[in-house]
Amino acid sequence: MNPRLTQAQQRALCSQLGNVSLKLLYKASVDGYTAAAFHQRCDNQGPTLSVGYNNSGHVFGGYTSISFIQSDQWGNDAKVFIFTFNGANVIKYQVTNPANAVLLTSASGPNFGNNLIFCHNGQPVVYSNPGQKYYNFTAAEMHGNDLQLTECEVYKVEECKLLEKPWRNIDWTSENKRKLLVQIQTYKPIISSVSQIRVLLIGPVGAGKSSLFNSIKSIFRGHVTNQAMAGSSGTSLTTMFRTYHVKAGKEGKPLPIILCDTMGLEETTGAGLNVDDISSILRGHITDRYQFNSAVPLQPEAQGYKKSPGLQDRIHCVAYVIDANKISIMPSKLEDKLTAIRSKINLVGIPQLVLLTKVDEACPAVAEDLTNVYHSLYIKTKLQEASQRLGVPLSCVVPVKNYSQELELDQSCDILLLSAVNQMLRFAEDYFDEVNEKFSDLEV
C-alpha cells in the first residue's frame, strides 16, 4: 500500500504533533470501507491520524492520542483535534469537551465526537455535523460540502526517540570526508584483471536508484548534478541497463567503481524489471544501454548479448535501494520478486548490501539534523525491518540520503553516501577473495 498523503502533507501534520513519524495502517480502497476492516487494522494501535480525501480536492481528518477500541463508549482525549488543509497549511479545530473527544464505536470508522465520522454506515462517505458543541467548524472549510470519499487512510503515529549514544559510530568531521574520498579514489581491486568494481543497483520504482548515482557523482564533482534521469513516477524512469562511471573531478580519472542501474521493480506481473534478466546481468552478458523488455528477458541469440564476458564484466556487489518510508508497506508480490532475485544472486555468491534511502523523510529528527541518524530509534527499527524482510544481516543495511531538492552539497549527507560506497568496495573485496580461493582450489 502506498500512502496518498504526500510527504509535504505528512511533514505539515507531524509538525503539529512533535518529533513523530507516520506508518500507514489502513487504506479503505484496499482494505474496505467497513467498520470491521477499519477496526481489524487500527484497534489498539495507540495514537493515530485519520485522513479523508474527496473529489473536491479536500484533505481533512483527525488525530487522537488514545487507541481505537470497540467499547461503544466515549474516549477522553485532551490532545485530540480535527483538521483540514488550506493549501500547504494545516487548520486545526480543538475539542471543546475532551470527555467526548472520540466515540469508540464498533459501528463505523474513525468517529470524532459524532461531528466527523469516516466510512459512515460502511460506505465511502463521511458524516459531517459542523458547528456542534464538541468541534466547531464549517462544512465549506472542512471538506467543501463534499461528503463522498475517494479515499480514507489511518496512520499510526510513532514517536521518534533519540538514543543518548549512537548505536553505530560514525565520524561526521570534514577530515573523515577527506579520508573517505581518498580511500575510494585510490582503491585498487586485488585481482589485476579487474580495474573497476561493478555494483548493481536494484530496487522498487521511486526508491532512488538513479538519484543515488547522481548524488555520488555530485560529491566527486563538487556540486549537485543530475546526469541520470530521476524523479517521481508510478513506473520506472530507467528503461535501459546503464553503466555509470564517476570521475574524481570534472577532468579527473575515473573512480574504481561502476554503478549499474536497472529498470525499477514493480509488483505487477509483466511490468518493471524482468527477474529472469538478473542472471544475465550478474554474469556480464548484458551490455550498456540494453533496452529492457518487461515481458521477455534477453536471449543468448539476441543482438547485444555478450557471449563470453570476463570477470571485469560481471557484477561484484549488489546494492538493494529501498525507501525507508515504504519498507513496512512493501507489497507481497514485490517482496516475492526480491526473494527470487536474492536466490539468483546467492547462487553466484555475490555479496549483497541494502541502502535505505530517504531516512530524512522517515524521521523528523533526522530531517532536522542528519547526524541524528544513528541516534534515532525509529531509523534503527527501519533498518532492522529491512534486514528481516530482505533476509540480510543488519550489518549489511546502511542508511543514506540522496540529493533531491538541494542546490548545494552537505557534509553529513556526503559522509553517509561515501560510507555506503566504501561498504560496496569492501563487499566487492570479499567477492574477489572468494574468486581467488576458487582459483587456488583448481590449481591444487
pLDDT > 50? residue 444? no
Phi, psi for 200 (deg, rounded to 5) = -90, 125
Q: What pLDDT score does 443 carry?
A: 39
The residue written with cell numbers 536497472 in the block is 262
- Burial class (CB within 10 angstroms; exposed 0-12, middle 13-18, buried 19+) of 249: exposed
Average pLDDT over residues 214-231: 83
- 302-347: pLDDT as tens digits: 777 888 889 999 999 999 999 998 887 788 888 888 998 999 999 9
The residue written with cell numbers 541469440 in the block is 301
Mean pLDDT of the residues in the chain: 89
- 37-94: pLDDT as tens digits: 999 999 999 999 999 999 999 999 999 999 999 999 999 999 999 999 999 899 999 9
- Asked if residue 213 lies in contact with residue 227, where contact means CB atoms within 8 angstroms, the answer is yes
Phi, psi for 356 (deg, rounded to 5) = -95, 110
Quick one: angle between helices 209-221 and 411-443, nearest 10?
100
Q: What pLDDT score does 439 carry?
A: 59
Q: What pLDDT score does 238 carry?
A: 62
pLDDT > 60? residue 230? no
Tell me the domain boundaries of the chain.
Answer: 7-159, 174-443
237 vs 226: CA distance, rounded Å: 14
- 146-183: pLDDT as tens digits: 999 999 999 999 988 899 999 999 999 999 999 999 99
pTM of the model as a whole: 0.77
The residue written with cell numbers 456542534 in the block is 132
- Burial class (CB within 10 angstroms; exposed 0-12, middle 13-18, buried 19+) of 386: buried
Which ranges of 109-263 would DSSP assign to H, the alpha helix? 139-143, 174-186, 209-221
pLDDT band at 270 (very low <50, low <70, confident <90, very high): low
Go through the chain and tell me how many residues it has. 444
pLDDT > 90? residue 418? yes
R_g of the chain computed on alpha carbons: 25
Q: What pLDDT score does 324 carry?
A: 92
- What would the CATH number be for the domain defined by 174-443? 3.40.50.300
173 vs 321: CA distance, rounded Å: 26
Which neighbouring-strand residues pair with 92?
83
The residue written with cell numbers 548490501 in the block is 353
51 vs 49: CA distance, rounded Å: 7
264 vs 206: CA distance, rounded Å: 8
For strand 290-291 and strand 240-247, is the pairing parallel, antiparallel, or unpaired? antiparallel
- 7-37: pLDDT as tens digits: 889 989 998 998 888 999 999 999 999 999 9
